[in-house]
Structure 1
Amino acid sequence: MIRTLIVDDDPAVCRMHIRALERLPGFVVADTAATGAAALDRLLDGDIDLVLLDIHLPDFSGVEVLHRLRQLSDDAVDVIVVSSANDGITVSQAASARIADYLVKPFSRALFEQKLGAYRDGSAATRPRVDPAPLGQEDVNALIEAGRSGDRRLPKGLSESTARLVENAVSAEQASSAIEVAAACGLSRITARRYLDHLVRTGVLRSEHRYGQRGRPEILYRRR
């Protein structure tokens, strides 16, 4: 089950998210938090798989929560932003913190369930773009999913030769975990994960989840 933390200062929104997650297979609500500080404190327990995060919080921005979270745990926790904030700069700042998706309020129940289902089934990609103009949901989708078939330039700190090594270690027939790829390439798990995530973002690989009896699902990688 995907243990989910809901971060929103509106109790009605929290209740709506809880009801929606109760209808979706594979999710369980672990807790709620009304402030950024409370969310970060709860995340220190280390048992959260996914955060549904509002941007407008009473103490500090959800974007700051995102970046503090990445400093605490790298990519150990996935985040889907659920917010009325739809300006390009905010979306870009969130995307730079490697979010799984971004859902603009208000939205339909069907769209919410579609986004959560897509996350559960392993689809997520980001590439930042700075734009001060307000964005609609389709624009946000394009920003968050950009890179699947577009710009394949490597992020700073990654090399072409190692990217090819990681790419060649993954097959289309059998999915591999980051640990398996790391062992095959002689890399650390964190380094292998950075290359794998880049290859997913650029459409070379696809990711999927393998669910066990308990705990967070294992992310596996496969060639497209």
Structure 2
Amino acid sequence: MSIRTLVVDDDAHVADVHRAYVARIDGFAPVGVVHRGAEALAAVAAGGVDLVLLDLYLPDGHGLDVCRALRPPAGARTDVIAVTAARDVATVHRAVGQGVVQYLVKPFPFATFRDKLERYAAFRAGVTGRREADQAEVDALLGELRAPSAAPALPKGLSRPTYDLVAGALQAADGERSAVEIAEACGVSRVTARRYLEHLVGEGRAELSMRYGSSGRPEHRYAWTR
């Protein structure tokens, strides 16, 4: 069953981007987008929300106050991942105290977003239906949330930031895109975009197709593998 996810962000454009990101991650399903804390509380109270992606700067209050209000006295709970520009240590400390399970600092590439949600999903799967755990099992469960991702090494000449940028642009695209379109979205050259796109195809994370125009020359088209 998919993890039903509510996106809470005061910026409508950012909220829509995050909703689209959630929809592209296996095991997650966006169930709503709201822009105020009161709306978030109402949506969770109505039921059907497992996870809240919570911005901390909201027009009707601080996100951590929303987080505190989401903590029930007993029974099932809705988990919270903070998705925010707040990077001061005091806020991070308070978020941990309020039970925030992950903390994403804006801006971030899609790869980071996906990694945090997938780690949360692994943690959730590990605790579901389990009543007790020994020390090693507890360490393993928490490791699912906290361990840094081990990204595979890239070939010489490719950089991780550009890789994440191109991969994120392609995954966020609705359907196929050319190297030119990805280059414009990322602010890199067509040649650079194509190198990274070809690498993504080689990894199996993207698919390549050909479109033939009036000139008879094929145009390479790339799509994220869903």
TM-score bucket (shorter structure): 0.5 to 0.7
- Provide the rounded CA distance (Å) in 2 between the counterparts of 1:22 and 1:49: 15
Quick check: which one's helix share is greater? 2
Does residue 161 of structure 2 align to residue 203 of structure 1? no
Corresponding residue for residue 177 of structure 1: 129
Corresponding residue for residue 45 of structure 1: 46
State the structure with bigger RCO (CA 8 A, min sep 6), 1 or 2.
Answer: 1
Q: Which segments of 5 or more consecutive residues in structure 1 lack a partner in the other structure?
A: 125-173, 182-195, 209-224
TM-score, length-scaled by structure 2: 0.56
**Pairing of 1:209-220 with structure 2 (within 5 A):** none
Describe the SS at the equivalent of 2:57: coil
Shift of 1:45: 1.3
Describe the SS at the equivalent of 2:61: coil
- Provide the rounded CA distance (Å) in 1 between the counterparts of 2:76 and 2:37: 18
Q: Share of identical aligned residues, percent?
A: 38
Corresponding residue for residue 123 of structure 2: 122
Does residue 29 of structure 2 align to residue 28 of structure 1? yes
- Provide the rounded CA distance (Å) in 2 between the counterparts of 1:82 and 1:121: 19
Per-residue deviation, residues 43-88 of structure 1 (Å, max 9, x unmatched) = 1012100000000000000010011111466761111000000111
- Provide the rounded CA distance (Å) in 1 between the counterparts of 2:83 and 2:142: 24
- Provide the rounded CA distance (Å) in 1 between the counterparts of 2:136 and 2:47: 25
Corresponding residue for residue 98 of structure 2: 97
The number of residues matched between the two structures is: 143
Q: Which segments of 5 or more consecutive residues in structure 2 lack a partner in the other structure?
A: 145-226
- Provide the rounded CA distance (Å) in 2 between the counterparts of 1:92 and 1:74: 25
Cα distance change, pair 175–121 in 1 and its aligned pair in 2 (3 A): closer
Q: Is the 8 A contact 1:30 1:48 kept in 2?
A: yes
Larger Rg: 2
Q: Aligned letter for 2:114?
A: E
Per-residue deviation, residues 98-149 of structure 1 (Å, max 9, x unmatched) = 111000001111111111111111179xxxxxxxxxxxxxxxxxxxxxxxxx
Cα distance change, pair 76–200 in 1 and its aligned pair in 2 (3 A): farther
Q: How big is the alpha-carbon RMSD for the aligned residues of Structure 1 and Structure 2? A: 3.0
- Provide the rounded CA distance (Å) in 1 between the counterparts of 2:113 and 2:127: 28
Describe the SS at the equivalent of 1:28: strand
Shift of 1:207: 8.7
